[in-house]
Structure 1
Amino acid sequence: METLLYLTLLISGFYTPSSCLHQYHLITNNMNWTDAQSYCRAHYTDLATVDDMEDQNRLITSVSFDGWFWIGLKKGDSMKWNWSLADRRFYREGETEFRNWDTGTPQNGNCVLMSTAGLWNNTSCDDQHHFICYDGKQDTNLTYVLIQENKAWIDAQSYCRQHHTDLVSVRNQTENTEIEKKISLRGLPVWIGLFQDSWRWSDQSDSSFRNWQSGWPSTDQGYNCTLVSSDPSSDYYSKWINVPCDNNYPFICCDSAVETPEKPQLKRQVVRMKMTPKDQHLNISDPAVQDSILQEIRNKLKEQGLPADTKVTWKKQPDGKVFHKEEEGSPKKEEEKKMKRMMTKREL
């Protein structure tokens, strides 16, 4: 049986910052959150959205004096699971939804632990545990870094962002198994980057990036809108807190994202491949089998000199499938037969 495989190569870092930058504008008028939102929508695009740490750092440097400022994050009505690492290009289709819950979970608790058996449980974010950081920097050979210090989830997140890239995201069963092996000998569960909250951006962005101060957000009734501090002398510098939306503060608007020469678009190359499985009973629709094949392809590409941080994913076809059996009589098949006949005549 011959099967067509479709392979997408993202010729770029395995994790790169956003190639589009928000343009931030400080408005020094004191307004409540709702009026600030209306002002930004009338004069710019919306209240500020923050997609990642690069956005966060640029937002802070765009502020010309020290103080507290509204951004566009507001508490909503429904809870949603998010990954701490918010860059959407880090995930291929469906990977943000991968879960490996233990029996009877999720229940109470907004932050997620992985047990030494590789199963997930949710618990209070204030609990203290070891944690796993993801490191996507090109100058390191460590992808998953086990930190054997007990920290609350928010403090573990801050540590990973300061020293590596972020708390680890687990995108598929293969990665889940790799992390399980990393922690199995320690006998203790670890924080991963999955959390749930009901916070939503004013511009309806689905960015899961959060940068709360340790101990926040407050659960006080009516504390539904978000402030960021630009005071470098404060322990709250660049961190977020939530307060009542009727309070009056300056605010930060943003324009639509723009391209910059320093941040080029990802280079994408689609390659069609043909494979003849040795095991005719192999279930090539099994995600674990597909992940295993991808890993072999990554290893082969590295051996041939392709950068180790190249991202390799399967490209799904319109019917949602990756693999297609090449049928007898198809134009491609007939062309191959014709070429074989021509080669045979030359040999004769």
Structure 2
Amino acid sequence: METSLYLTLLISGFYTPSSCLHQYHFITNYMNWTEAQSYCRAHYTDLATVDDMEDQNRLITSVSFDDWFWIGLKKGDSMKWHWSLADRRFYREGETEFRNWDTGTPQNGNCAFMSTSGLWNNTSCDDQHHFLCYDGKQDTNLTYVLIQENKTWIDAQSYCRQYHTDLVRVRNQTENTEINKKITLRGLPVWIGLFLDSWRWSDQSDSSFRNWWPGWFIPDQKFSCTRVSSYRFSSFYTKWINTPCENYEPFICYEALQLKRQVVRVKMTQRDQHLNLREPAVQDAIVQEIRNKLKEQGLPADTKVTWKKQPDGKVFHKEEEGSPKKEEEEKKMKRMMTKREL
């Protein structure tokens, strides 16, 4: 895959910078969860929502002393399946809904594993299995990392977040087949990052990010509100527990910052004619290279890059030589490049 041959064209013609979605504000007043929610909605946007580990780290650095404090996660009435890897940059439309359940599943159990057949089953999160991590770090060529240690689902999640990115997510059948190849020879099922819960964010966000303390959380516990620890020298530092909503705690609000976006049409020359640009894995690899180049060029670390699909659902369209449409696109590209130079 000769990505480097057309990266220059992509970098010069396509990027989507954005500011951080959440700016966190630590409130030292002690209130119950409902009072804290009302305060945040009156003065900011809402009680804190956390989308990913980057958000989690920013949230913790907003706290000035060691304590427990409320965030905006509260237990709801209906159950829903989520992916542990909550970052929306990893998913196209509909990909968070991909499932490959075995016949008769899901039944009992809030955590999912993949069998050696590639089909999914669910079981108690306290069961112990080998597990598969997804590694999306820029300093490694690894993608799927098989960990041959028996751990509970929560412990497996913590391990993957510490040493890689997160428990593996499966967005489509192609990825399911690729992941299945990693475990077939071992002959044992593995945890994947799919879990079932009823927890909802105060601002009605669809974020599936959770960071429960492994030694505490029980999904069916009656305690319905969530607080996070800032005790720096404890085993539950940055971890969440669910406690009675009537408790009085300090809390974190968030303020939604306006996104700055730029959508640019790209002209790209394909050097490798055997490369299928419609493959999600190929498109993801290109985007990852773009992110790396943007970082090298000094753009903010939280710059996000995504492909924008056309009305027909495709990302790329082939243009014929000498077509009026092609000539018009070239004029548009020149105008956009001139504006950037100014």
Mark yes or no: TM-score above 0.5: yes
Amino acid at match of 1:175: E
> 1:316 & 1:214 partners in 2: Cα distance?
43
Q: Does 1:315 align with 2:309?
A: yes
Alignment CA distance shift 1:10-1:208 (3 Å): farther
Please give the secondary structure, in 1, of the residue aligned with 2:255: strand
Paired-residue identity, %? 71
Note the 1:1-348 alignment, pairs <5 A: 19-219=19-219, 222-258=222-258, 269=265, 293-294=278-279, 315-317=309-311, 321-322=313-314
> 1:323 & 1:165 partners in 2: Cα distance?
27
Please give the secondary structure, in 1, of the residue aligned with 2:279: helix
RMSD: 3.8
**Deviation of the 1:57 alpha carbon:** 1.1
**Deviation of the 1:139 alpha carbon:** 1.4
Please give the secondary structure, in 2, of the residue aligned with 1:146: strand
The structure whose Rg is larger is 1
Aligned residues: 300
Please give the secondary structure, in 2, of the residue aligned with 1:96: helix
Amino acid at match of 1:181: K
Alignment CA distance shift 1:227-1:265 (3 Å): same
**Deviation of the 1:315 alpha carbon:** 2.5
Partner of 1:278: none
Alignment CA distance shift 1:101-1:19 (3 Å): farther
**Deviation of the 1:18 alpha carbon:** 8.1
> 2:80 & 2:266 partners in 1: Cα distance?
33
Contact 2:19 2:257 in 1 (8 A): no
Amino acid at match of 2:141: N
> 1:161 & 1:266 partners in 2: Cα distance?
31
Alignment CA distance shift 1:113-1:43 (3 Å): same
Amino acid at match of 1:315: K
Please give the secondary structure, in 2, of the residue aligned with 1:242: strand
Higher strand share: 1
Contact 1:17 1:54 in 2 (8 A): no
1:163-198 deviation line (CA, Å, top 9, x unaligned): 111111100111101100000000000011111111
Alignment CA distance shift 1:270-1:315 (3 Å): farther
Contact 2:309 2:315 in 1 (8 A): no
Amino acid at match of 1:294: E
Amino acid at match of 1:204: Q
Contact 1:118 1:176 in 2 (8 A): yes
> 1:231 & 1:206 partners in 2: Cα distance?
28
**Deviation of the 1:26 alpha carbon:** 1.3
**Deviation of the 1:215 alpha carbon:** 3.7
TM-score normalised by the chain length of structure 1: 0.75
Please give the secondary structure, in 2, of the residue aligned with 1:55: helix
> 2:49 & 2:179 partners in 1: Cα distance?
32
> 1:253 & 1:300 partners in 2: Cα distance?
36
Contact 1:23 1:257 in 2 (8 A): yes
1:13-69 deviation line (CA, Å, top 9, x unaligned): xxx998524111111111110011001111111111111111111111111111100
Amino acid at match of 2:97: E
1:242-295 deviation line (CA, Å, top 9, x unaligned): 011111111111111356xxxx86876456999xxxxxxxxxxxxxxxx89526
